[in-house]
Structure 1
């Protein structure tokens, strides 16, 4: 299951194709990458974000939606521009004053996501023990949230440019869910200083199967490099749980 970012929200079928803009579905359908997965890509409703004058939502049009070509593949979008220099940062120590989730995120449709997973598992020939979860930006926060609330549903998770709050970590550590966290060193949207506290909490809880990759040269769009490569998908497939009572390799 892939959870998109804030800019791909939509209300109704007319806006559904915005989920094609990034992530594994973009790689598989637009870039014709051979991925051995059933990709579940739900869409988060607007919840009023279309009224907030956010430029990347207000100014988007259907021309922004990539098209699959009969022959070949289209060029990838340009990388996000950034004026930030390569940097080192300290982590935020007191996360008690930091909200664990962004407003009106994937937690608002938590039950719907589980229903979607249940229906896919009933309707297709799938290995329930090989259900993986990833998401970018807002979807990264959603990935942490869903893994915390439903830790026995996912064999491994990969949040991309979305940090996890320490308050979410106990169920993830208890279930020993493999985690691969990605961040951008030049990200001006989601500051890297917030990523460390949650990962430190996992370590304190005895969770050893955690990776943290910081692309120091990248801005917010780390996902392009992550999802266009092969490493994440191979890593996912190296883990298998039992679904309702997951046991990780």
Structure 2
């Protein structure tokens, strides 16, 4: 472990802005190789110098590229405080990246995780100013894109997320406090109008649930870009449903400072679905890519053994999906260039379990183009063949979603034997 010293910390108490003087040139250069780096930095807390432990994660190929990267800042819970870096790897982004390196191998983000000192809290102003200082130092030491800095935290760190965002709103493009409760709703509504906010809380988390609802109502009333995700049946440890999922971090990337969110940002239902996603199943992902290259499989539930089957319902090479819940469908998704100068059709062959049924929804650019129940009553020999005309979108990139939605909750598996584009001049 190394330490990079910084000469002076200047804090403007009136504006909340933080400036960090440049490190002396005689100090060793900050690490630039991919991976987790456990570091310490001297900061001022209550007029005392404290060597604050933090970790910086640099994504794969960081040392072989020159572009600026988005950065996620993570604030831990109270149980992970200390000076030894260990708490950083208990919960949160770096813990999940370390546990599942293959899942996060293509996550092209820097992650900064300061460790709250013992007997201090991330909801104390002095500690938050020290964290703001560490963020400024990270911007100097690594290739951080200043327009794509994000903030998240759990419990105590969730409260700190609110407070740090209010202290330095100019720093963050988006924040995601989890299990945080209410923190000065009126101040948040006034200061966070330029920040996108995703509030996550378990529905069974008592005062934290009520406080999160209060924050959502206050921010929404002030015109802040805010979403509230309440997870039914979940308590205070709701963060465990989101930090392990790559889609959680993808949400941040739709946001850039002083710009509107990019098109295609997940809907409220899709954000909730992230909390229900099973752990990444690499075998299922690989099988789906073999079956339908270029398509993405989202929210596939684990019931009824999903995956590629050699034969089903009398057809070979069949891929089986299942809704995540009775309210959250499995989705097959692609963005496809519809060529100009010809007619384009999307051909589908879908089937059902011998003792089940499900609902197929074909959605193009967010609009339902086709809705069909797939059952014994609507299929012939267990299969239904369909063609969707996409010619009206000629010359455009089109987002297409195929939903395997539940009609009840009894054998809702979707069988797919053909997903194919046809071009006719």
Same structural fold, with TM-score higher than 0.5 when normalized by the shorter chain: yes
Compute the displacement of 1:106 (Å): 4.8
After superposing the two structures, state which structure 1 stretch, 132-141 or 103-112, moved more.
Answer: 103-112
For residues 26 and 38 of structure 1, the distance between their equivalents in structure 2, rounded to whole angstroms, comes to 14
Structure number with higher relative contact order (C-alpha < 8 Å, ≥ 6 residues apart): 1
C-alpha contact 2:74 2:151 (8 A) present in aligned 1? yes
Q: Give the gaps of 5 or more residues in structure 1.
A: 49-102
C-alpha contact 1:131 1:156 (8 A) present in aligned 2? yes
Compute the displacement of 1:104 (Å): 6.6
Please, what TM-score do these two structures have when normalized by structure 2?
A: 0.41
After superposition, the Cα gap between the structure-2 partners of 1:248 and 1:163, relative to the gap in structure 1 and judged at 3 Å, is farther
Provide runs of 4+ in structure 1 moved above 4 Å. Answer: none
Give per-residue Cα distances to partners, 1:184-205, cap 9 Å, x unaligned.
12235x5312222221111221
After superposition, the Cα gap between the structure-2 partners of 1:44 and 1:106, relative to the gap in structure 1 and judged at 3 Å, is farther
C-alpha contact 1:149 1:171 (8 A) present in aligned 2? no
Q: Are 1:206 and 2:275 counterparts?
A: no
Q: Which residue of 1 aligns with 2:193?
A: 174
Q: Trace 1:60-209 onto structure 2 (pairs within 5 A).
A: 105-165=123-183, 166-175=185-194, 177-187=195-205, 191-207=208-224, 209=225
- When the two chains are superposed, the root-mean-square deviation of aligned CA atoms in Å is 1.9
Q: Are 1:222 and 2:294 counterparts?
A: no
Please, what TM-score do these two structures have when normalized by structure 1?
A: 0.69
For residues 30 and 109 of structure 1, the distance between their equivalents in structure 2, rounded to whole angstroms, comes to 29
For residues 171 and 151 of structure 1, the distance between their equivalents in structure 2, rounded to whole angstroms, comes to 11
| Larger Rg, first or second structure (1 or 2) | 2
After superposition, the Cα gap between the structure-2 partners of 1:107 and 1:30, relative to the gap in structure 1 and judged at 3 Å, is farther
Give per-residue Cα distances to partners, 1:195-220, cap 9 Å, x unaligned.
2222111122122x211111112221
After superposing the two structures, state which structure 1 stretch, 211-220 or 29-38, moved more.
Answer: 29-38
Q: Trace 1:47-66 onto structure 2 (pairs within 5 A).
A: 47=119
Give per-residue Cα distances to partners, 1:72-99, cap 9 Å, x unaligned.
xxxxxxxxxxxxxxxxxxxxxxxxxxxx
User: Residue 187 of structure 2 aligns to a residue in which SS?
Assistant: helix
User: Residue 206 of structure 1 aligns to a residue in which SS?
Assistant: coil
Q: Trace 1:12-31 onto structure 2 (pairs within 5 A).
A: 12=83, 15-31=84-100
For residues 25 and 104 of structure 1, the distance between their equivalents in structure 2, rounded to whole angstroms, comes to 18
Equivalent residues, number: 185
Structure having the higher helix fraction is 1
Q: Which residue of 1 aligns with 2:265?
A: none
Compute the displacement of 1:19 (Å): 1.4
C-alpha contact 1:169 1:202 (8 A) present in aligned 2? yes
Structure having the higher strand fraction is 2
